[in-house]
Structure 1
Amino acid sequence: MPEDDTSAEADLAPADADWTATVVATETDWDTVVDLRMAVFVDEQGVPEHLELDEHDAEPLESDVDHLLVRDAAGDAVAVARLRAVDAHEYGALAEGTERVAKIERIAVAGDRRGEGWGARVMSAVENRARARGLTEAMLHAQTQTAGFYEGLGYAVDEAVGTFDEDGIEHVRMRRQL
């Protein structure tokens, strides 16, 4: 895991929160992340299983990719996200001189927990982790039907990219300053 201001075990949720958000550091937590991602992306949305787990998931406990797991007060897994620091030249940057941007991916909330604010919580946690890693800009590929949710969190559609197909689902690139 990369050096930064926040250890993997640190809770990325606000201090007064009744939920936790941590970077996955155990095989058990990784299995929980995979189960939730498979339920959302493969079972619900029909993404082929071989596309859901990719090269950025190959060494989940040993790489510079952060997999976040959000749990409610009862300890139940409710949301996940993946964070990578990527070359700004590959994806563009909002501010001149930015070399790396946070690419937030694989954002998923358990189907029976949607509408309870978990999407905003996992985004807050992953953005906190990105800041701890020294990243000042974030980008993500949002399914078009979720773009309004991300706009409410301060993201803007990258109009230069337009809509595109990713794993058989229409997406837009969105970005914001952190």
Structure 2
Amino acid sequence: MVYAKKVETDKEYQDAIFIRRKVFVEEQDVPLHMELDEYDQEAIHFVAYDGEIPFGAGRIRTVGPSLGKVERVCILPEYRGKNYGNLMMQCMEEYALSKEFHKLKLNAQSHAISFYEKRNYTITSPEFLEASIPHRAMEKVLI
């Protein structure tokens, strides 16, 4: 069974961190000290599983009144192209709605902009570099 969930145990947290290391640090060459940051302690983390095998991760932070920031969304390469990014985002957005967030923002890697646009996020910035990777800021009104 494939599913995504809010992290509730240390094992689930470690699984999410494992996925982030695989995708961002090993695949995309993001320095470890930039990937694992001071916000990990305050963020709400999410993980996706295929049975007991973790394959996706993400987190949400509160950054203002009724405003959340989606960060570190990633899927292992062998699970991409199977709609699991949508599964991950659906889980995170449902959590955000349950916590009465009115808006979510994120910094999308430029190659992923169309993915987020299909989920009704709109671009709010010119392109910028984050960890030497081109990004654009985006946001979505939830309610």
TM > 0.5 between the two? Answer: yes
Question: In structure 2, what is the equivalent of residue 140 of structure 1?
Answer: 106
Q: How does 1:91-170 map to 2 (within 5 A)?
A: 99-158=65-124, 161-170=125-134
Amino acid across the alignment from 2:109: Q
Q: Could you tell me which residue of structure 1 aligns to residue 137 of structure 2?
A: 173
Q: Do structure 1's residue 39 and structure 2's residue 22 form an aligned pair?
A: yes
Give the structure with the larger strand fraction: 2
**Alpha-carbon separation, structure 2, partners of 1:31 and 1:81:** 12
Letter in 2 for 1:130: A
Structure 2 runs not aligned, ≥5 long: none
Structure whose residues are more often helix by fraction: 2
Q: Please state how far the C-alpha of 1:136 moved relative to its aligned partner.
A: 1.5
Whether the 8 Å contact between 1:33 and 1:69 is mirrored in structure 2 is: yes
1:47 partner SS: coil
Name the residue aligned to 1:50. 33
Aligned partner of 2:62 among 85, 107, 111: 85
Opposite residue 145 of structure 1, the aligned amino acid is H
Write out per-residue CA displacement over residues 2-35 of structure 1, whole angstroms, 9 at most, x where no aligned residue.
Answer: xxxxxxxxxxxxxxxx433222122211111111
Structure 1 distance, partners of 2:53, 2:73, is 17
Residue equivalent to 1:12? none
Among 7, 16, 20, the residue aligned to 2:3? 20
SS at match of 1:67: strand
CA shift, 1:70, in A, is 1.3
Distance 2:53 2:45 in 1: 16
TM-score, normalised to structure 2's length?
0.94
Cα drift, residue 173 of structure 1: 0.4
CA RMSD of aligned residues (A): 1.2
* Counterpart contact for 1:78–1:118, Cα < 8 Å: no
Between the two proteins, the alignment pairs up a number of residues equal to 142
1:42 is matched by which residue type in structure 2? Answer: V
Which protein is bigger by CA-based radius of gyration? 1
Report the 3-state secondary structure (helix = DSSP H, G, I; strand = E; otherwise coil) of the residue aligned with 1:115.
Answer: coil
The one-letter code of the counterpart of 2:140 is R
Q: Percent identity?
A: 31
| Residue in structure 1 matching 2:49, options 58, 65, 71 | 71
CA distance in 1, matches of 2:126, 2:114: 15
Q: Could you tell me which runs of 5 or more consecutive residues in structure 1 were left unpaired when the two chains were aligned.
A: 1-17, 88-98
Contact 1:24 1:67 in 2 (8 A): yes
